[in-house]
């Protein structure tokens, strides 16, 4: 890369490395385009999609406005149904609660249903510190875990891997975690799935504790809902004796009938299916099972206080915005440095992480993640494709622009913007600047210096005309002379 690479903020630096990774680019291009097409087809066939989307948005907004009331209603309903409700203000508290609950069962391992909330709080690592092993059972999460890797997509965490890479990971690592993959494993998707199935089955049958998240929680009934494709989640939800669910407080819906809207919006936006293969719902604890619900804030109430930024809490984690995003497609999920990549990550991550204290809400903190978080709102060309596909109409470009305003700006940029503002403040100044440019135009170098070299590295600059439009208008009296 060019000289501009040095001293670049985190996202552009990560992305610059990612765009050169031809395997990653190939995998992502193929995967995102396929799913984009499937989504477009199943959304396009619904004549009332726009109305559904509006309903989804309004239900979520209504719930968020009355979150306190609905959360208490949920707590009551879950408790009535024999479950235990715990409240966690932040990641550390949530991890402490979950680890304590697992330790109380005397077990040293748990199986996990795919869950974003537990990724967000780093639960697996926190459990490992207390000697508890967490086994991921979602196929893609399993690939990530075995590969000692990071998820790069909300729905398909191993989207950056292709099947031959997966075969290598299975062959090399599965044995360390349980039943090994067969020696002659091929990279046929069916063979890979079968190897995972056998590996996981032993795990399910041997596990006493499961940890899940939830796609939705119903305040009225105290019901939790998980949508999935593989059925592995359902094994975790039913077989073990203790079930612990960690759920962000924004996952709430007021009533059972609200699912009508969201069970249409989510699968169509997410996997591009009319309906997902498995939908599990449970209310409190069943006979012989213990159920704990950990309600997670971790910055959400602070986000709720921001009138523009709060719409990010409507997100139902469908990942449609990732699949359609031209920046995500080229930079990959890891460049975003968070479990929430893509457009939603660019608006959610900086907000969640900035909200540690009330005082830091105006300016993003200059912490270790500050550099990255300050660059995330700029990880977008504001093309608007994410807003267009979002099933709950989150205006991601609006939030990006909003967050950019409270991001610390580099000094050179501040000066440049101030100078531009000064020139645009008076038409005579603009005219003078244009004339100067016109006179110097023959001396403009093909390669510009400083930050502007980022333009001329790959693009020519246009020729500066001898005369601006306004001077032409004056000279010719609007072209009449």
Measured from the CB atom, the residue of 167 and 317 that comes closer to ligand SF4 is: 317
407 binds other proteins (CB under 8 A): yes
Q: Which 268-327 positions form the footprint of other proteins (CB under 8 A)? A: 326-327
Cα dist from 9 to 62, 287, 348, 352, 377, whole Å: 38, 54, 18, 20, 12
Q: Tell the smallest beta-carbon distance from residue 47 to ligand SF4 (Å).
A: 21
Q: Which is nearer to other proteins, 1 or 198 (CB)?
A: 1
Q: Identify the residue among 241, 277, 413, 432 touching other proteins (CB under 8 A).
A: 413
Task: Count CB neighbours of 340 within 10 A.
Answer: 26
Nearest partner of 280 among 208, 231, 320, judged by Cα: 231
- Number of residues near other proteins (by CB under 8 A): 71
3-state secondary structure of 401: helix
Nearer to other proteins, 1 or 239 (CB): 1
Q: Which listed residue (189, 424, 432, 439) binds other proteins by CB under 8 A? A: 424
| Residue entry with tokens 């989504």 | 39
Q: At what angle do helices 139-146 and 189-206 cross, to 10 degrees?
A: 90
Work out what residue 366 binds among other proteins, ligand SF4, none; the CB cut-off runs from 5 to 8 Å by kind: none
Q: Which is nearer to other proteins, 62 or 406 (CB)?
A: 406
Task: Rank residues 13 and 86 by Cβ distance to other proteins and give the closer one.
Answer: 13
479 is an interface residue for other proteins by CB under 8 A:
yes
- Residue number, 236 or 321, with CB nearest to ligand SF4: 321
- Rounded to an integer, what is the distance from CA 277 to the centroid of its chain? 23
The binder of 344, among other proteins, ligand SF4, none, by C-beta within 5 to 8 A per type, is ligand SF4
Q: Find the binding residues for other proteins in span 9-28 (CB under 8 A).
A: 11-12, 15-16, 19-20, 25
User: Distances from the Cα of 63 to the Cαs of 79, 219, 255, in angstroms?
Assistant: 21, 10, 10
Residue with tokens 């097409």: 37
103-123: buried (b, 16+ CB within 10 Å) or exposed (e) per residue?
eeeebebbbbbbbbbbbbbbb
Q: Which does 84 bind (CB under 5 to 8 A by kind): other proteins, ligand SF4, none?
A: none
What 8-state DSSP symbol labels residue 111? E
Q: How far is the CB of 343 from ligand SF4 (least distance, A)?
A: 6
Nearest to 156 by CA among 311, 34, 281: 34
Show contacts with other proteins in window 326-385 (CB under 8 A): 326-327, 330-331, 377-385
Contact of residue 19 among other proteins, ligand SF4, none (CB under 5-8 Å per partner type):
other proteins
Q: Decide whether 271 or 280 has the Cβ nearer to ligand SF4.
A: 271
Classify 91 in phi/psi space as left (phi over 0), alpha (psi -120 to 50) or beta.
Answer: alpha
By beta-carbon proximity to ligand SF4, the closer residue of 85 and 392 is: 392
Chain residues 29-58 in contact with other proteins, contact rule CB under 8 A: none
CA atoms lying within 13 Å on the CB side of residue 331: 26
In the structure encoding, which two tokens stand for residue 352, read together?
């969640």
Distance CA 181, CA 192 (A): 9
Q: Which of residues 428-457 bind other proteins (CB under 8 A)?
A: 430, 434, 437, 451-452, 454-455, 457
Minimum separation from the CB atom of position 427 to other proteins (A): 5
464 touches which of ligand SF4, other proteins, none (CB within 5 to 8 A by kind)?
other proteins
263 is an interface residue for other proteins by CB under 8 A: no
Q: Which does 37 bind (CB under 5 to 8 A by kind): ligand SF4, other proteins, none?
A: none
398 binds, among other proteins, ligand SF4, none (CB under 5 to 8 A by kind): other proteins
Nearer to ligand SF4, 251 or 361 (CB): 251
- Listed in order, strand segments (DSSP E) in 287-339 are 290-296
CB of 319 to ligand SF4, least distance (A): 5
- Tell which one of 420, 432, 439, 444 touches other proteins (CB under 8 A): 420
SS3 19: coil
Stretch that binds other proteins, among 121-129, 145-153, 355-363, 405-413 (CB under 8 A): 405-413
Read off φ and ψ for residue 109, nearest 5 degrees.
Answer: -145, 155
Q: Which is nearer to other proteins, 202 or 388 (CB)?
A: 388
Alpha-helical segments (H) within 1-132:
10-18, 22-44, 49-65, 67-80, 91-105, 116-120, 123-129
Strand order in the sheet with 223-228: 252-253, 216-218, 223-228, 278-283
3-state secondary structure of 157: coil
97 binds other proteins (CB under 8 A): no
Per CB under 6 A, residues contacting ligand SF4 are 269, 315-321, 344, 389-392, 394
- The answer to whether the beta carbons of residues 38 and 400 sit under 8 Å apart is no
A 10 A CB-CB count for 422 gives: 11
Q: Name the token pair of 162.
A: 């292709």
Which of the residues 182 through 201 are near other proteins (CB under 8 A)? none
**Toward other proteins, which CB reaches closer, 27 or 232?**
27
């Amino acid at each position: 890369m060019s000289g501009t690479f040095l001293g670049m903020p985190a996202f552009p630096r990560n992305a610059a490395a990612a765009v050169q990774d031809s395997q990653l680019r190939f995998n992502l291009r193929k995967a995102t385009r396929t799913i984009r097409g499937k989504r477009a087809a199943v959304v396009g066939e619904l004549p009332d999609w726009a109305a559904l989307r509006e309903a989804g948005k309004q239900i979520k907004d209504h719930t968020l406005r009355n979150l306190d009331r609905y959360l208490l209603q949920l707590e009551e309903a879950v408790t009535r149904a024999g479950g235990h409700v715990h409240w966690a203000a932040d990641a550390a508290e949530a991890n402490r609660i979950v680890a304590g609950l697992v330790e109380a069962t005397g077990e040293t391992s748990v199986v996990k249903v795919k869950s974003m909330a537990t990724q967000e709080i780093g639960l697996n690592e926190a459990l490992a510190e207390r000697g508890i092993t967490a086994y991921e059972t979602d196929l893609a999460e399993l690939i990530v875990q075995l590969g000692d890797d990071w998820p790069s997509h909300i729905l398909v965490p191993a989207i950056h891997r292709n099947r031959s890479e997966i075969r290598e990971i299975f062959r090399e690592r599965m044995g360390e975690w349980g039943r090994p993959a067969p020696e002659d494993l091929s990279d046929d998707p069916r063979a890979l799935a079968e190897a995972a199935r056998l590996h996981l089955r032993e795990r399910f049958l041997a596990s006493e504790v499961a940890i899940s998240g939830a796609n939705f929680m119903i305040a009225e009934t105290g019901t939790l809902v998980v949508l999935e494709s593989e059925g592995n989640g359902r094994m975790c939800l039913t077989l073990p004796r203790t079930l612990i669910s960690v759920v962000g407080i924004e996952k709430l819906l007021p009533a059972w009938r609200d699912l009508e809207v969201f069970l249409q919006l989510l699968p169509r936006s997410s996997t591009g299916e009319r309906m997902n293969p498995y939908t599990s719902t449970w209310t409190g604890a069943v006979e012989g099972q213990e159920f704990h619900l950990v309600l997670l804030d971790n910055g959400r109430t602070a986000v709720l206080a921001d009138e523009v930024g709060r719409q990010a809490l409507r997100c139902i984690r469908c990942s449609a915005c990732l699949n359609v995003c031209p920046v995500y497609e080229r930079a990959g999920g890891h460049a975003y440095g968070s479990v929430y990549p893509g457009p939603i990550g660019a608006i959610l991550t900086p907000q969640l992480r900035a909200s540690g204290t009330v005082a830091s809400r105006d300016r993003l903190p200059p912490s270790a993640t500050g550099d990255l978080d300050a660059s995330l709102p700029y990880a977008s060309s504001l093309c608007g494709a994410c807003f267009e596909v979002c099933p709950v109409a989150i205006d991601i470009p609006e939030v990006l622009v909003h967050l950019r305003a409270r991001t610390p700006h580099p000094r050179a940029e501040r000066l440049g913007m101030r100078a531009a503002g000064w020139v645009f403040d008076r038409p005579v100044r603009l005219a003078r600047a244009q004339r100067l440019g016109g006179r110097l135009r023959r001396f403009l170098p093909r390669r510009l210096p400083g930050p502007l070299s980022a333009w001329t590295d790959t693009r020519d600059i246009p020729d500066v005309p001898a005369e601006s439009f306004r001077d032409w208008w004056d000279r010719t009296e609007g072209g009449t002379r």
